[in-house]
A and B are shown apart, each in its own frame.
Chain A
Amino acid sequence: MRPNFHELVRKRLPQLTRETAHEIADHLGDLYDDALRAGAAHRDAVAAALSALSDHAALIADPTAVGRLPSGAAPWQPGQSVTRSSRGGAMLVNLQRDVRYAVRMLRRQPGFAAVMILTLTLGIGVNVAVFSMMRAALLASLPLPDPDRLVAIASWTPQSGAHTDFSYPLYVDARDAASGLAGIAGYLSDAVGIATADQRERVVAEFTTSNYFDVLGVRMQAGPGFTGADERRGAALVAVISDRIWRSAFASSEDVVGRTLSVDGQACTIVGVAPPGFTGFVRGERADLWVPLNQFFPLRHRPDMLDRRNTSWMSLVGRLRDGASPSQLEAALTSALRGAAAENNAEWRMRATPASGGDTSLVEGLDRPLQLLMGVVALILVIMAANLANLLLARSYARQAEMAVRQSLGASRVRLAQQLIVEALVLATAGALGAVLAGTWVARAFEVRSAFGSTALSLSIRPDWAVVAFTALVSLVTALAIGVAPALGLRRVTATEALKAGGDMGRVVVTRARLRGALTIVQIAVSLILVVGAGLFLRSLSKIRAVDPSMATDRTIAATLNTTLRGYDEARARQFYSAVLGTMSAQPGVESAALAFVLPVTAGGMRTNLRAGSTTPPVDAPIEFDMVPVSPGFFRATALPLLHGRDFSAADSDTAPRVIVINERMASRFWPSRDPVGEMFKIGGDESYTVVGVARDTKYRSLREAPRMTMYLPLSQFHESSVNLVVRSSLPVDVTIAAMREAVRRADPAMPIYNVRTMAEHVDRSLYLDRLRARLISTLALLALALGAVGIYGVVSYTVAQRTREIGIRLALGAEPSRIVALLVAGGARLAIAGIAIGTGLSVWLARGLAAQLYGVTPADPIVIAGAALLLFTVAVLATYLPARRATRIDPMLAVRSE
C-alpha cells in the first residue's frame, strides 16, 4: 500500500510550512515510485524514500521552508497541526550548526587548533593576570558591609597636601565632634612577634581604638571583641586574632576566647576572633592580630604619649551614618578641630575621602605601574590577535574551494562570514577558559611589592565576577577582531575562481595579500611601541643607578636590630647598644661601627612637618625635614662627609645639652649666609638644639627624590628601640658579617639580627620597582619583537609559496636569483618601514603619559627611538630575507608544473 508521504513528512517535520511539506512529500513519492519501477520491494522503496529525509537540518533551517508562506499558496486551514518556527528559531538552529561545524573542523586540525588556543590563552591570560592584580591592589572593595560609607580622614593644606597622622587627643576631639554624622576610629599597623606554647610567628598587627570593629562593620566570629575600656591607659592586655591564626595556632577550638597569646613578650587575653576574609583595613597588608592602641610598643614605655598633642602617629577611618555626606563631615570636623590643632593657616581643613577599598597608603604607588603594565599587555594582545587573524586568513584561503562551491550553491556571504566568526568565537572561548585559570595563577605567583620595596604586598587575588566579565569581554572583542579578517577576505567567489586554487591570478589573492600586509604593519607598529617603551625604562634605570648618593657603598655592611623583640626597656637597650658597638669597634679591620635609625636611601623614616614661622630661625613657608637618630661614628661608617663642625661623641649624653647635625640643604635654608655651627635651632617654644656639624646631602628616601632637609640627632639623646648596625671594614664581607653576628650574640645570645645587607645591596633594593618595571617591559617587548618577526616571516613565506609558479617561470626565463630575493626583501622592507613610521608616531604620542615614571629621560628620547627603529628594521629584513632565500632554491621545472 502506498504510504501517505504527506502525513509522514508533516509528522516528522512539523515545523515545515504546509507548502514545503507538500513539495517534499511529492519528491519522496517520486523517489518511491522510481524505486518500485526499478524493481525494489515495497519496504526497500519506502526506506529509499525516507532516507532522503535523514539529514534535514538544512531544510528546517531555511526560512522559506519554515518561515512564511510563498505568495499565491493556499491559505492556512484552521486546525492544521503544523507548527511554525520563527525566524529567531531558525537563527538559533544556525548557530548550533555553526558551532558544531566549527568544533568538527577544529578537531580535524588539532595542531592548528592547539596553536590558536594556546596563543589566545597566552594573550588573554596575561591581560587577565594584570587585571586581577589591578583589581586586588586598587579596584576591589573590602569585604565589609556598605563599604561606600567608609571614609579616610586627613587634614589638608594646599602647601603640603594631605596629612594622615593624628595624635590621640586630636582623635578624641574628632570622634566627639563627628558623633552625629559618623563613627570614627583610629588605627596603625606594625609587625609583632606572637607566640603560643608551641608556635612563634611574626605577623602584622593593627593597633586600634576599641570602636574599630564597630566602625568598620566587622562582627566577631567568636568572643565579644573590644570594649570601651580597652584602649585606655592601664587596661588589661587583650587581643583579637584572625581566622587564620585561630585555625593554625588554636586548631579552631571552641574555647579560644579567654586563652592567652604572647605578643612581643607580653601575655594578652584573647577576646575575639575576626571573621574569615577580614585581614584588616590596610590594603596590601594581611593583618592577623588586633590589639588596643595603648599596647603599641612605644607606648609601653612612654604611656604619656597617648595624651600628647604634638605627636601624630595614628590614622583615622570613619563610617558615615545614614543621611550624612562626606562634605558635612568635613565641615563639622574642620570647624571643631581648627582650634584643637592650633592651625592658623586659613586654608587648613579636614577631608573625608571615600575609602571603600581601605587604607591605600601602601598600594598607592602601584597605580601608575599597573596601568602601564595593563597598556603593555593589551598591546601584546593586539599583536597576537593580528598573528592569529593572519593564520585564520591563510587557513581560509586553503578552504577557498569549499567556500566557493558553497557560494555557488547559494550560500550567502553573510552566512559564511557568520560561520567564520563563530569559529573564531569557539576558539576564543576555549582560550578564555584557559586564560582565566592561567591568568589568576600567574597573578598569584607574581610577587608585588609596594613603593617601600622591603616587604612583599599581600594581595588577595582570586577570580571574581569582575575578572570573569573582563575575560569574557576581551575574548569577545578578540574573537570578533580575528574572525573579521577572513570574513572580509570572502568575496563573491565565482565558480571559475574556485577551481583556480593555488593560482596566482585573481583579485582574491591580492585582497588577501593586502589584508595580511595591513595586519603585519599593525604588528610592527605595536612592536615598535613596546620596544621604545622598554628602551625608555632601561635608560631611565641606568640614569637612576648613576645617581651618586655621596656615601660609600663598598666595604659597608648593615643589619637590623630590634630590642622590642626581647622586651627591653630603654636602659637595657642602651646597655645592649654600647656593648655591641664596643665589641665591633675593637675588632681589628673594622674602621667604624655605628647605629642609625634609618640608613640613607630607605623609603620611610621619621618626618616632621612644621608651619611657617614656627622655628628659630624662622622661615616663611611650611617646612618638612627628616629626623635621623644616629650614634657617634655614623658619618665615618657610611663615609658621608662632614663638611663643618664635628660628629656626635660620648659627651653628648642623655643629660647633656641637646645637639644636632644638619645637612647642607637645611643649613642653607635656615642660615643662608653663615656657618650654622654653634647656632641654636628651636622648634616651637620648647625644643631647642645646638648645631654642631653640617653633613653632605645624600639621598634619604630614594635615589630619584628631590633634595630634602635632614637633621641627625644623637641616639643617646633620642632613643630608638629598633636600629640598624652599620659597619665599615676592610675585611671580606662574610668575615665582617660573622663578626657582627658574634658581637650581637655576645651581648645577648637570644637577640635576633636580620636584614643583613651590604650598602650596595641596600641601595639596589631601593631600585626594586624600577628594575622590575624595566625587566617586565623588556621581556614583553622582546616577546612582541619575536611575534612581529614571526608575522613577517609568515607573510613572506606565504607569498613565496603562492607565487612559486611565477618565480619558477622567471628563473627559468633567466632571471637572477638575487634580483628575486631583492624584490621580496624590498616588499618586506616596505611593510617594515610603514609599520615603523606609524609606530614611531604612536610611541611619541603615548610616551608623554610616561613622563612621570621616567628619570632623566624625555619621553621622546631620540636615541631610544632611533635604536628601536633600527632594531625592528633589522629584524624585519632578516625575517624577510630567510624565506626569500628559499625562493631562489625553487626548481623552475617543478614550479611550473605545480599547482
Chain B
Amino acid sequence: MVLAAIEDAPRHGYDIAREIDSRSAGVLRFHVASLYPMLYRLERRGWITGRWVERAGHRRRRYYRLTPEGRRTLAAQRAEWRDLIAALTRAAGLESA
C-alpha cells in the first residue's frame, strides 16, 4: 500500500499517510510512530529512497520515491493480489451454483 502510494509521484511522510487514508476511505490509518519506522525499513530494504528537498517558499521536507526494485516488488505483489481476487471470485461463483 505504501509502495502504491508513492507510485505515481514522490511524497513525504504526511502525504503518504493522507493518501492511504483517502484511498482506503478511512479504513486504514497510520500512526506517526509506526509509519516512519516502516518507511525507514522500506528504505533499508532498498525499495524506496528518501531525499531532503528544499523548495522555495517551503520548509525542508523529506520526500520518498520508488526505486526500480521497489517498482518490481510492487508489480509482483499486485499480481498476487489479482490472483487472490480471482480465486475468491471463482470460489464465490461456485458457491452460488
Q: Which residues of A contact B (CB under 8 A)?
A: 19-20, 22-24, 26-31, 52-59, 61-65, 70, 72-73, 409-412, 494-496, 499-500, 897
Contacts and interface: CB of A to CB of B under 8 A. Distances in A.
Interface centre among B33, B38, B80, B84 (most CB of A within 10 A): B33
Contacts of B59: 26, 29
8 contacts: A26-B62, A27-B13, A52-B31, A62-B41, A65-B37, A494-B80, A495-B77, A496-B80
**Which of A56, A61, A63, A410 has the largest number of chain B CB atoms within 10 A?**
A410
Given A64-B43, A64-B44, A496-B83, A23 B34 contact: no
Contacts of B61: 23, 26
The B interface is mostly helix, strand or loop, or mixed, namely helix
B38 A56 contact: no
Counting chain B CB atoms within 10 Å of each CB, which of A52, A53, A499, A897 scores highest? A52
Contact of A59 (B14, B37, B83): B37
B14 A65 contact: no
B51 interface: yes
B12 interface: yes
Contacts of B12: 23, 26
Contacts of B60: 22
Nearest to A55: B33
B32 A52 contact: yes
A412 B43 CA distance: 13
A677 to B, nearest CB: 99
A30 B52 CA distance: 17
A24 B50 CA distance: 14
Given A19-B62, A22-B60, A58 B80 contact: no
Contacts of A31: 14
Contacts of B38: 409-410
Contacts of B43: 64
How big is the B interface, by class?
20 to 34
A62 B62 contact: no
A222 B38 CA distance: 73
B5 interface: no
A24 B12 CA distance: 11
B77 A62 contact: no
Contacts of A897: 95
Interface in B25-78: 31-34, 36-38, 40-45, 50-52, 59-62, 77
A294 to B, nearest CB: 84
A7 to B, nearest CB: 15
Contacts of B32: 24, 27-28, 52-53, 56, 59
Nearest to B13: A27
Given A27-B13, A495-B80, A496-B81, A58 B34 contact: yes
A72 B38 CA distance: 20
B36 A495 contact: no
Contacts of B80: 494-496
A243 B14 CA distance: 77
B89 to A, nearest CB: 14
B19 to A, nearest CB: 13
Contacts of A64: 37, 40, 43-44
Given A19-B62, A26-B12, A72-B51, A499 B34 contact: no
B51 A53 contact: no
B52 A26 contact: no
Contacts of B14: 26-27, 30-31
Contacts of A52: 31-33
Given A64-B44, A410-B42, A500-B84, 10 more contacts: A23-B61, A27-B14, A52-B33, A57-B33, A59-B37, A62-B36, A62-B41, A65-B36, A410-B37, A411-B41
A55 B13 contact: no
A23 B13 contact: yes
A199 to B, nearest CB: 73
Contacts of A24: 32, 36
A495 B13 contact: no
Given A23-B62, A62-B40, A64-B40, A53 B33 contact: yes
A65 B62 CA distance: 13
B28 to A, nearest CB: 11
A26 B13 contact: yes
A6 to B, nearest CB: 10
Nearest to B83: A496
B52 A72 contact: yes
A897 B94 CA distance: 11
Given A23-B13, A30-B14, A61 B37 contact: yes
Given A19-B62, A410-B41, A58 B33 contact: yes
A56 B34 CA distance: 8
Contact of B36 (A20, A411, A494, A500): A20
Contacts of A70: 50
B73 to A, nearest CB: 11
B72 to A, nearest CB: 14
The listed residue with most A CB atoms (<10 A of its CB), out of B12, B45, B62, B77, is: B62
A751 to B, nearest CB: 87
A499 B77 CA distance: 14
Contacts of A410: 37-38, 41-42, 45
Interface string B4-20: 00000000111001000
A70 to B, nearest CB: 7
Contact of A494 (B17, B33, B77, B95): B77
Nearest to A494: B80
Contacts of B40: 62-65
A62 B84 CA distance: 33
A585 B34 CA distance: 97
Contacts of A56: 32-33
B84 A499 contact: yes
A19 B53 CA distance: 12
Nearest to B45: A410
Contacts of A53: 32-33
Nearest to A896: B95
A589 to B, nearest CB: 91
Contacts of A19: 52, 62
Contacts of B45: 410
Those 3 A-B pairs whose CB atoms lie nearest each other, nearest first = A64-B40, A410-B41, A62-B37
B68 to A, nearest CB: 18
Contacts of A73: 52
Contacts of A30: 14
A672 to B, nearest CB: 91
A279 B76 CA distance: 76
Nearest to B59: A26
A126 B45 CA distance: 47
Nearest to A56: B33
Contacts of A22: 60, 62
A97 to B, nearest CB: 12
A846 B60 CA distance: 72
Contacts of A55: 31, 33
A496 B34 CA distance: 22
Contacts of B84: 495-496, 499-500
A793 to B, nearest CB: 32
Contacts of B33: 52-59
B11 to A, nearest CB: 12
A348 to B, nearest CB: 77
A454 B14 CA distance: 83
A6 B7 CA distance: 29
A58 B61 CA distance: 22
A440 to B, nearest CB: 46
Contacts of B13: 23, 26-27
Nearest to B17: A27
A29 B77 CA distance: 33
Contacts of A61: 37
Contacts of B36: 20, 23-24, 27, 59, 62, 65
